[in-house]
Amino acid sequence: MEKPRIVVTMGDPCGIGPEVIARALSLPEIREICRPLVLGDLGAMERAIAVTGESLELRTVSAVPEEAPTGHGVIQLLPLSRLTSTEVEYGKPGIAAGEAMYRYIAEAARLCVSGRAAAMVTGPISKEAMNRAGHHYPGHTELLAELTGAREFVMMLAGERLKVTLVTIHEALKDVPELLTYDKVLSTIRITSHDVNRYFRRNPRLAVLALNPHCGEGGLFGDEEERIIGPAVKTAKSEGIDAVGPLSADTLFHFASQGAYDAVVCMYHDQGLIPLKLLHFDDGVNVTLGLPIIRTSVDHGTAYDLAGTGTASARSMTAAIRMAAEMARVKSEE
């Protein structure tokens, strides 16, 4: 089978995105499984190669190339911005950088929707800078859903020992109870089951978490379990989905990390990401489920304190590219 074309977006050129891309694409194992193409800024990529000290040759292209570059140590870059040195100052993304981040993501989505690329992998962005540039999205997930026309989507964070999906994503904690609905919980369970079954594990077993301590303690600490989560789980089971819950988050992750469940459906952001990053801080992968395209990402931020030092770990970027390539292989065989 032909190696899949994977487009890799630089993310914030003022952060560690370019550096972790350089490190990941220097690995022979990545070259063996895919044909990567970086979407980003030429100056930022040249700087990243110098900072990391990787022996890489950077080749710019004006369109998606049909062939992978011959020889090892070559990065193909489709330059979509020409930022000045002040516009790519480490840790100080301005409006120009925010606009560039949006452009990289939009072009990657377009290439995937059109079939010119098999999958996209995204570097970390500054949501603040992108919003200042006029693109008002809480993160990649919501932006990609709009760009691809997806009405229902789910954020999943994945590692070898644990996979978690989120019913609510980037929301204030005080708003979560009002945002939880029977339809939203059921939709998250359905999408999680469908895509985990498609790409990762046949007939997955899902654990669905409670919102409140001790599953609400019979209504003493809240009734979302009885009104919303429990009925959604019951419906999912009636549809043939192997789901159990609601379960208490304080004990569930011990068993999930031991392999008792293939994925855990969580009610809010930190409920899932704290245990995920405890186990997979360096090699976790962010995957958007429910899209018509394949999208994976690093599960860390721009790390401005590390930008320019050449010391940022590329394990998450490497894992994200590897997972995207494997998902593309599975999709091509369907």
Give the model confidence (pLDDT) of 195-248 as tens digits.
Answer: 999 999 999 999 999 999 999 888 888 899 999 999 999 999 999 999 999 999
Q: At 113, list the tokens.
A: 């929707």
Query: Would you state the pLDDT for residue 271?
Result: 97
CATH topology of domain 1-151+290-334: Isopropylmalate Dehydrogenase (3.40.718)
Give the model confidence (pLDDT) of 82-119 as tens digits.
Answer: 999 999 999 999 999 999 999 999 999 999 999 999 99
Query: Would you state the pLDDT for residue 65?
Result: 87
What residue ranges do the domains of the chain occupy? 1-151+290-334, 161-279
CA angle 200–151–270, rounded 5-degree value: 60
Query: Would you state the pLDDT for residue 269?
Result: 96
Query: Would you state the pLDDT for residue 220?
Result: 85
Query: Would you state the pLDDT for residue 96?
Result: 98
Strand bridging mode 163-166 / 154-158: antiparallel
- Helices 269-279 & 249-257, crossing angle to 10 degrees? 40
Query: Would you state the pLDDT for residue 139?
Result: 86
Would you state the CATH architecture of domain 161-279?
Answer: 3-Layer(aba) Sandwich (3.40)
pLDDT below 70 — which residues of the chain?
1, 70-71
Closest CA to 137 of 176, 98, 173: 98
Query: Would you state the pLDDT for residue 1?
Result: 64
Query: Would you state the pLDDT for residue 71?
Result: 64
